[in-house]
Amino acid sequence: MSTLVDDPPRSARPVGFIGLGNMGAPIAEKLAAWPGGLVVTDIRPDATVDGATRVDSPAEVATTATIIGVTVLDDAQVNEVVAGQGGILETAQPGTVVVIHSTIGPRTAIDLAELCAEKNVAVLDAPVSGGAQAAKEGRLAVMVGGERDAYQRIKEPYALVSDMLMHAGPIGSGTEMKLARNLLHFVSFTATTEAARLAEAAGIDLVKLGKVVRHTDAITGGAGAIMLRDTTAPIDPDDFWYDVFTHVRGLGEKDLRLALDLGAQLDVDLPLTALALERFADGLGVGEDRS
């Protein structure tokens, strides 16, 4: 476990940020309000943030900053920024916390954390969700994997960036949470394309349908509305959630069957819908009659 630097007070020390692209720039812009200041660098020599001090390398960032955010392209760039020539580890002070926002493989985060621990530097894998707009508004969800004390240390500056800073667990857990979250995101997008084909074949105005979807999802919570339990195990009939999810199952199976019938009438193939009907009950945990 790393020993964190506490002298001088944290608020008097600058934070650092590396990578000022589409996501990195708005995150850094929020961090520029940190009382101790912000030090930034980017591979592009003209990239900077108003109110920040621009330096030429990650190593220069680490000479003054002991909390350093990283938002670069991929695993290779993360490794280079942290441990390569001119990287953070060349100059990092003991107790520095490196906060990696890039979506990388969990193993990359684990390996980097082990390497950095040799120099008493902590690594947090902290991918974000919400997009550039949430970053501009300071409303990102940040999913953090790593040591609890390092997580606690970034909470104050990252309150400028996030209204949901979530400690997911040990190093790698932030990335694993992000992958699960994005699986839901993009599978839902794929289901959206299937629904749009069905609606289009039925002569429905897709823009109007989109307005209805966004309106009702804002009220119900969309796919996240059923994420109410702390396990995916089958639900016992005497469990509170059994009747709730059995009701959801009944509604869902009815509507999925009706959608498949409409697709058959309109000659629209709906493979995700068929798979959803097949797996819906088991996924909810009420697939068997357990009474």
For residues 88 and 155, state if they share a domain. Answer: yes
List the domain range (segments joined by +) for residue 247: 228-284
Of 176, 193, 217, the last residue of a domain is 176
* Residue 195 falls inside a structural domain: no
Can you give the CATH number for the domain in which 108 is found? 3.40.50.720
Euclidean distance between CA atoms 80 and 194, whole angstroms: 41
Residue 122 phi, psi (nearest 5): -95, 145
* Residue 198 falls inside a structural domain: no
For residues 273 and 144, state if they share a domain. Answer: no
* Residue 185 falls inside a structural domain: no
* Residue 255 falls inside a structural domain: yes
| pLDDT value at residue 12 | 73
Least confident of 4-8, 26-30, 96-100, 114-118: 4-8
Mean pLDDT score across all residues of the chain: 94
**Alpha-carbon distances of 97 from 52, 87, 123, 157, 227, rounded to whole Å:** 19, 14, 6, 12, 32
Residues 6+ apart with CB under 8 A from 22: 132
| pLDDT value at residue 290 | 47
Euclidean distance between CA atoms 252 and 218, whole angstroms: 19
For residues 239 and 102, state if they share a domain. Answer: no
Long-range Cβ pairs for the range 227-236 (8 Å, 24+): 229/285, 232/283, 232/285, 233/285, 234/285, 234/286, 234/287, 234/288, 234/290, 235/284, 235/285, 235/286, 236/290
For residues 150 and 254, state if they share a domain. Answer: no
Q: What average pLDDT does the segment 212-237 reach? A: 94
* Residue 137 falls inside a structural domain: yes
- Is 61:92 a contact under the CB 8 Å cutoff? no
For residues 86 and 155, state if they share a domain. Answer: yes
pLDDT over 90 (residue 6): no
For residues 40 and 125, state if they share a domain. Answer: yes
Euclidean distance between CA atoms 73 and 77, whole angstroms: 6
Q: What average pLDDT does the segment 151-169 reach? A: 97
Q: What average pLDDT does the segment 160-177 reach? A: 97
Q: What SS3 class is residue 104?
A: coil
- Is 77:102 a contact under the CB 8 Å cutoff? yes
For residues 153 and 253, state if they share a domain. Answer: no
Where residue 85 falls among pLDDT bands split at 50, 70, 90?
A: very high
Q: Nearest Cα to 74, choosing from 21, 10, 137?
A: 21
Written as six digits, the tokens of 88 are 């953070």
| pLDDT value at residue 11 | 66
| pLDDT value at residue 84 | 96
Give yes or no: 178 in active site.
yes
Residue 81 phi, psi (nearest 5): -65, -40
* Residue 34 falls inside a structural domain: yes
For residues 233 and 165, state if they share a domain. Answer: no
Of 176, 202, 217, the last residue of a domain is 176
For residues 153 and 273, state if they share a domain. Answer: no
Can you give the CATH number for the domain in which 275 is found? 1.10.1040.10
Where residue 8 falls among pLDDT bands split at 50, 70, 90?
A: low
DSSP of 181-192: HHHHHHHHHHHH
Euclidean distance between CA atoms 174 and 145, whole angstroms: 4
Work out the number of other CB atoms within 10 angstroms of the CB of residue 88: 27
For residues 40 and 158, state if they share a domain. Answer: yes
For residues 95 and 236, state if they share a domain. Answer: no
- Is 34:64 a contact under the CB 8 Å cutoff? no
pLDDT over 70 (residue 66): yes
How deeply is 263 buried, as exposed, middle or buried, from its count of CB atoms within 10 A (0-12, 13-18, 19+)? buried
Of 176, 199, 218, the last residue of a domain is 176
pLDDT over 50 (residue 3): no
* Residue 167 falls inside a structural domain: yes
Where residue 1 falls among pLDDT bands split at 50, 70, 90?
A: very low
Euclidean distance between CA atoms 41 and 47, whole angstroms: 8
DSSP character at residue 70: E
User: Which is catalytic among the residues 178, 208, 211, 254?
Assistant: 178
Q: What average pLDDT does the segment 199-205 reach? A: 98
| pLDDT value at residue 289 | 57
- Of all residues in the chain, the percent with pLDDT exceeding 90 is 93
pLDDT over 70 (residue 288): no
For residues 128 and 56, state if they share a domain. Answer: yes
Provide the pairing of β-strand 67-70 with 122-125.
unpaired
Euclidean distance between CA atoms 6 and 95, whole angstroms: 9
The tens digit of pLDDT for each residue in 97-125 reads 999 999 999 999 999 999 999 999 999 99
pLDDT over 50 (residue 256): yes
Helix (H) or strand (E) holding 129: strand 128-129
Structural domains counted in the chain: 2
* Residue 202 falls inside a structural domain: no
